[in-house]
Structure 1
Amino acid sequence: MTLPVALSGTDVIGQAKTGTGKTLGFGLPLLERVTVAADVEAGRAKPEQLTTAPQALVVVPTRELCQQVTNDLLTAGKVRDVRVLAIYGGRAYEPQVEALNKGVDVIVGTPGRLLDLAGQRKLDLGHVKALVLDEADEMLDLGFLPDVERIVTMLPAKRQTMLFSATMPGAVIGLARRYMTQPTHIRATSPDDEGATVANIAQHVFRAHSMDKPELVSRILQAEGRGLAMIFCRTKRTAADIAEQLQRRGFASGAVHGDLGQGAREQALRAFRNGKVDVLVCTDVAARGIDVEGVTHVINYQTPEDEKTYLHRIGRTGRAGRAGIAITLVDWDDIPR
C-alpha cells in the first residue's frame, strides 16, 4: 500500500501492526530516491548529481533498532551498492566520522548522536531529499521531540517526509501536520482483523505471586515446541536478576537492558539471533521494532505500564504471518493495571 505512494514522492503517514514490513515500506522508496554511481553508469543520472553528503535520513528511537534498519537497508540496497551508515550513541565517534568523510547515501540514526555530529559540522544534512521518522510515537515517549524538531530544521524545506508507527497518538498527528505537506495517511489493516494486536498471537494471563514467577517462567520455557523466547521486565534490576536465575537453572539466557554497555547489549542480541542464547530477558528498550526470526513465546514477567507497550512487547512474536504465544504474569499489585 505504501510503495506506490512513497515512490511518487508524496509525504506518507504509515500505520501498520507489528511485524508487517514497515522497514521496507519506507526503505525501498529511499533506496530508489538516492542517486548512486550505478545510476550514472546506467545513464539514469548525470555525474554532477552525485554527492558524498547523505541524501536520505531515517530517525529511529533506539540503538538496537538503528542497527537492524541499517542491516535491512544494506541488504536491500546491495545490488545498487547504496552506502548506508548507522549513527548512534554508546559507540566511538571516529569510525562514524570516517565513514561520513568517505561519503554515504543513507543515514539511519538516533536523535542524540545525529545532533552531536551535525553540531560539530561533521554531518551535512543540506542534501537530504527524504526524511523518515520510524516508530514516531516512541520518539515522543522517550522525550525526543525537541531533538527531532531541531534535526528537521537542518533539512532542506523541499523534501519528502514519511512517518511510520504502529500506534498513532494525537501528538504524532500534530508532528505530522507541522512537518509534512498534504500527507497521505495509510492504515494497513486486514478487513477481518479488528483488534490492535496481530490475530495469530495467542494471549494468556496467569496470576502469579512474585516469589513464584521464576518457577513459573521455567515451566513455560519447557513447553513443547518452544523456539526462542523473550521475557520483558519493567526494571533493569529485575531483568539482570531473572537472566541470572535462569542461567543458574540451566537455560541459555542473555539480557538486554540500559545498565549494560552498548557492546554487551549488541552481543546479547547477536547471540539471540544466532540461537546461541534462546531466552532473552529485556526491558522495554527491546520492545520496539526488534525483529528476530523464530520467537515463539513472549513472557511479560512484569505487567507493562500501558496498553501501547503491551502491544509492542507481544509483537516480537507472530511476525510475518507466523503464530506466537504471549503470556503475561500478573502479580496482586498489578491487577488494577
Structure 2
Amino acid sequence: MALPLALGSQDVIGQARTGTGKTYAFGIPMLQRIGKPRKNRKKPRGLVVVPTRELALQVTEDLVAAGGKLGSRVLSVYGGRAYEPQVEALRTGVDVVVGTPGRLLDLVKQKHLDLGQTAMLVLDEADRMLDLGFLPDIERIIKLIPSERQTMLFSATMPGEIVALARKYLNRPTHVRAESTQAEAEAKPEIEQHVWRVHRMDKIEIVARLLQAEGRGLTMVFCETKRACDMVAEQLETRGFAAAPVHGDLGQGQREQALRAFKNGKIDVLVATDVAARGIDIDDVTHVVNYDCPQDEKAYVHRIGRTGRAGRTGTAVTFVEWEELTRWKVINNSLNLDFAEPVETYSTSPHVFAELTIPEGTKGVLPHARRSRAGLSAEKIEDLGETGRSRGRRRDERDDRETRPRRDRQRRRTRGGRFEDAPTDAESAAEESSTQSAPPAPEQEVSVMDKRRRSRVSEEPVTAVGDDASPAVGIAIARRSRVRRTAGAAEAALADVLSDGDGREAEPYAGSAEPDGQDERPVVEPERIVPSSPFMVIFKSPDLATDDDEIAPSAATERAAQRRRPQRPRQPRRG
C-alpha cells in the first residue's frame, strides 16, 4: 500500500505490525529514486535513522539485498565501532547511510558526513526513538537536511508524539495502516499466547522445561534488566542449554557475536533486554518468553513480534508475578486480550506440559544426549576496533583470568616490619645511648633506615641506657620512643622521663618486676553473671511510684476538659 505513494515522492506515515516488511516498504522506493551509483557523487542521497545498533545492521542487510542488482552503496554507522572504517567509506562515496542518531551527529560534527544532498529521510521505529530520548537529536538531524526532501515514518505503534512530529516536519503526509486500529494482537492469530501467574523463584524452572518442548526451535527470552539477563543466561548454561545474553553493558563485538551465533544455530536461546525487541528478523524463532512482564502494551507487541513472522507460527509465554498484576491488567485491557486473570502456574502444573507439548517427566536439566549445540565459544569475536573501554566481559574470560597461574615474586622476609638483616631494637637503643655523648654534626644527614629504627616501638627492656637507670625506667623509655627523634632529641626525651616532666626524679614502679621485665600483677576479670534459666529476671527496675501520685489523664480527657472550660469574651479593639 505504501509503495505507490513512496514512489510518487509523497510523505508517508506507515503503520503495520512487526514482520510485515516495513523495511522494503521504504527501502525499494529509496533505492529506486537514488538509482545506480555514480563516481562523481560521493555524498549520500538517502538517510535512514534507527534507534538501536542491531536494527541498523538488520536494515543495512535488507537494503544490500534489495539493491544488489543496482550496486547501491549502503553504509551503516553506529556507536561501538571504530571511526576509521566508516570515515574511509564516506570518503570513497556512499548512496544510503543507515545509522543511530549519536554516531550520525558525531560524524557531522567532525565534518566527515555531509547531509546537504540528502533527498530522502526515513525514521524507522520512530516511537522507540522517542522513548529513548532521541527527539532533540532527530530535530538536529532534520535541520541538517534540505527542506526539499521526502520524509517517511514507519513504526508498529503510532503514539501521539509521532503524529505531532509528523505535523511539524512532514509535508501533507498520508497515514497508511496495514490493519485496523484495534490492537495488534488481534491481527496475530498465528501466535499462540499464554499468560501465567508465576512465582519469581520458579521462573527458571518453567523456562528449563519449556525449552524441552516438542518442535521447539530458536527461542528468545526477554528480561527487564541487564543483571537479570546475565543471571538467566548463566543458569540456563549450567542446566545444559546453549544460551547467551545481549544487553547494553556488553561490547559491540560481544553483542554481534551472540547474534551471529543465534542466527547460525550455534546457540538456540538468546536472553536479551528490549534492545533486541526491535528489528531482529531471524528465521525459525518458534518461542518467545517474557521472563519479566513488559512495561506497556507497545513493549509486549514488539517482544512477541519476534516470532510468527512472514506467515509462520509461534508461541509466546508471559510470566506475571503477583505484584505485576496491575500492570498486566492495563496491558490486557489496552490490547483486548482474554487474560485478565492469569492462571496460577508452577513448574509442576499439568497444563504447562499439556499446552506446550512438553513430554511427561521432563526435568529442569537438559539430558547430555540432547546437548548438540556448539555454544557461544564456537563463534569468534570480530575485532571492531571498539571505542572506549569494554563494559562487559564473558564468564569464560573471567574464569581464565582467575585460573591463570600467579608469577613468583621475590620477597624479602621481614620481622616486626623490618628486614632480617636490620639491627634489633636493643642494638639500636644501645647504639643510641653510646652516641649521646657525641651528637652528629649539623651537616651530617640521618638516613631513612635510622629514622625508622628509632621510631619503632620496642617492648624489650633496655638495661644499657645509663649508669643509674633501672630496668623499669628502660622499659618506659622504650615505650615512649614512638616519636621520630635524632640522637640529640633522644637525650632530651631521656631527661624528660627521668624528671617526670616537673623537675622531680621519677620513682621506679612499685610493682615487682621480674628479671625479664614482665609485670606479674594478677589480671582481674569481671565476674560474668550466667543465669540458670533463660527466663530468669537478672535486673528489675525499681517501682518509683507512690500512692500519692496521680494518674496522668488521657488526651481525650484533656480535650473534653478543655471544651468544658468557659471561654473568655474577646476584648474590643481600642482606637
2:124 matched to which residue of 1?
134
Secondary structure in 1 aligned to 2:206? helix
Q: Work out which of the residue numbers 207, 217, 220 in structure 2 matches 1:230.
A: 220
Q: AA paired with 1:14?
A: G
Q: AA paired with 1:161?
A: T
Q: AA paired with 1:58?
A: V
Matching of residue 81 in structure 1 with residue 71 in structure 2: yes
Secondary structure in 2 aligned to 1:336? helix
Larger radius of gyration: 2
Secondary structure in 2 aligned to 1:329? strand
Say how many residue pairs are matched: 325
1:199 positional shift: 2.2
Q: Work out which of the residue numbers 196, 207, 210 in structure 1 matches 2:184.
A: 196
1:335 positional shift: 1.3
Q: AA paired with 1:196?
A: E
2:165 matched to which residue of 1?
175
In structure 2, what is the Cα distance between the partners aligned to 1:293 and 1:83? 26
Matches within 5 A, 1:125-274: 125-189=115-179, 194-197=182-185, 198-274=188-264
2:463 matched to which residue of 1?
none
2:314 matched to which residue of 1?
324
Q: AA paired with 2:19?
A: G
Secondary structure in 1 aligned to 2:265? coil
Matches within 5 A, 1:54-69: 54-69=44-59
Bigger relative contact order (CA 8 A; separation at least 6): 1
Matching of residue 14 in structure 1 with residue 14 in structure 2: yes
- The range that moved more, 230-239 or 284-293, is 284-293
Matching of residue 301 in structure 1 with residue 291 in structure 2: yes
CA deviation digits over 1:267-320, x for unaligned, max 9? 101110111110000000001121111100000000011111011001000111
- Identity, in percent, stands at 64
* Greater strand content: 1
Secondary structure in 2 aligned to 1:82? coil
Runs (5+) with no aligned partner, structure 2: 328-575
Segments ≥4 residues shifted beyond 2 Å: none
In structure 1, what is the Cα distance between the partners aligned to 2:189 and 2:19? 12
Matches within 5 A, 1:275-290: 275-290=265-280
In structure 1, what is the Cα distance between the partners aligned to 2:15 and 2:196? 31
In structure 1, what is the Cα distance between the partners aligned to 2:65 and 2:15? 24
1:82 positional shift: 0.1
TM-score with structure 1 length normalisation? Answer: 0.95
In structure 2, what is the Cα distance between the partners aligned to 1:195 and 1:63? 28
In structure 1, what is the Cα distance between the partners aligned to 2:65 and 2:245? 27
In structure 2, what is the Cα distance between the partners aligned to 1:321 and 1:29? 24
2:30 matched to which residue of 1?
30
Secondary structure in 1 aligned to 2:9? coil
In structure 2, what is the Cα distance between the partners aligned to 1:81 and 1:3? 21
1:195 positional shift: 3.5
1:194 positional shift: 4.9
What is the RMSD computed on CA atoms of the aligned residues? Answer: 1.2
Contact 2:35–2:70 (8 Å) recurs in 1: no
Q: AA paired with 2:184?
A: A
CA deviation digits over 1:136-193, x for unaligned, max 9? 000000000000000000001100000001000000001111111011110001x7x9
In structure 1, what is the Cα distance between the partners aligned to 2:172 and 2:195? 43
In structure 2, what is the Cα distance between the partners aligned to 1:235 and 1:303? 11
2:60 matched to which residue of 1?
70
1:51 positional shift: 1.3
Matching of residue 3 in structure 1 with residue 12 in structure 2: no
In structure 2, what is the Cα distance between the partners aligned to 1:36 and 1:104? 11
Q: AA paired with 1:272?
A: F
Contact 2:49–2:98 (8 Å) recurs in 1: yes
CA deviation digits over 1:234-293, x for unaligned, max 9? 000000110010011010111111111111001101110111110000000001121111
Q: AA paired with 1:75?
A: A
